[in-house]
């Protein structure tokens, strides 16, 4: 009796292994495309492919260049999303929020003054009592 059960489960087990391998390969390819800049993490969150549905949000963020554990953890904490939340189970509001936050670009650095005479003109235009403002990054 156990022989027939094993024979029935073998093809099912093999199909499951084949499916798992397909998902792993698709996920690896997606990670490579994100790292290369071909696909953004925001796009993956908004248009969740089947391969990424059970992928955690933290894993997705870590696949981006210059994103480490601390940056990913702080980003998710700031947006109220758990690190272990699967991408496929995010609500529509969470998807929009995360995608919007990921799409934001840091503000451009001020343009340096090339000509020293321009600096003198700017200094002269400032009232004598005006204080200099210090900007800390």
Domain holding 64: CATH number?
A: 1.10.8.50
If one compares 44 and 109, the residue with the highest pLDDT of the two is 44
pLDDT at 133: 44
Residue 44 tokens, joined: 């993956």
What φ, ψ does residue 51 adopt, rounded to 5°? Answer: -65, -25
Mean pLDDT of 51-64: 95
CB hemisphere CA count around 9 (13 angstroms): 5
In a domain, 6, yes or no: no
pTM: 0.67
Residue 52 has pLDDT above 90, yes or no: yes
In a domain, 132, yes or no: no
In a domain, 57, yes or no: yes
pLDDT at 70: 96
Residue whose structure tokens are 């955690």: 56
Residue pair 17/25 in contact (Cβ under 8 Å)? The answer is no
Total of domains in the chain:
1
pLDDT at 115: 52
In a domain, 34, yes or no: yes
Residue span of the structural domain in which 85 resides: 15-104
* Other beta carbons within 10 Å of 75: 18
Burial code (b: 16+ CB inside 10 Å, e: under 16) for 27-43 equals: beebbeebeeeebebbb
In a domain, 36, yes or no: yes
In a domain, 32, yes or no: yes
pLDDT at 16: 94
In a domain, 29, yes or no: yes
pLDDT at 136: 43
Residues 62-116: pLDDT tens digits?
999 999 999 999 999 999 999 999 999 999 999 999 999 999 855 444 455 555 5
pLDDT at 10: 84
* Other beta carbons within 10 Å of 3: 7
Separation between Cα atoms, residue 54 and residue 38, nearest integer Å: 21
What φ, ψ does residue 67 adopt, rounded to 5°? Answer: -115, 120
pLDDT at 100: 95
In a domain, 96, yes or no: yes
């Amino acid at each position: 009796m156990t022989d027939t059960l094993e024979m029935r489960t073998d093809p099912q087990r093999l199909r499951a292994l084949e499916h798992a391998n397909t998902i792993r390969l698709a996920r690896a390819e997606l990670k490579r495309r994100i790292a290369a800049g071909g696909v953004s993490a925001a796009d993956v969150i908004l248009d969740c492919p089947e391969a990424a549905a059970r992928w955690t949000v933290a894993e997705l963020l870590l696949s981006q260049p210059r994103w480490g554990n601390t940056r990913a953890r702080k980003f998710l904490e700031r947006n109220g999303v758990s690190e272990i939340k699967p991408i496929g189970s995010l609500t529509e509001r969470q998807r929009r929020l995360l995608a919007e936050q990921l799409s934001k670009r840091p503000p451009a650095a001020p343009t340096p003054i090339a000509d020293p005479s321009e600096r003198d003109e700017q200094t002269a235009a400032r009232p004598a009592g005006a204080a200099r403002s210090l900007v800390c990054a």
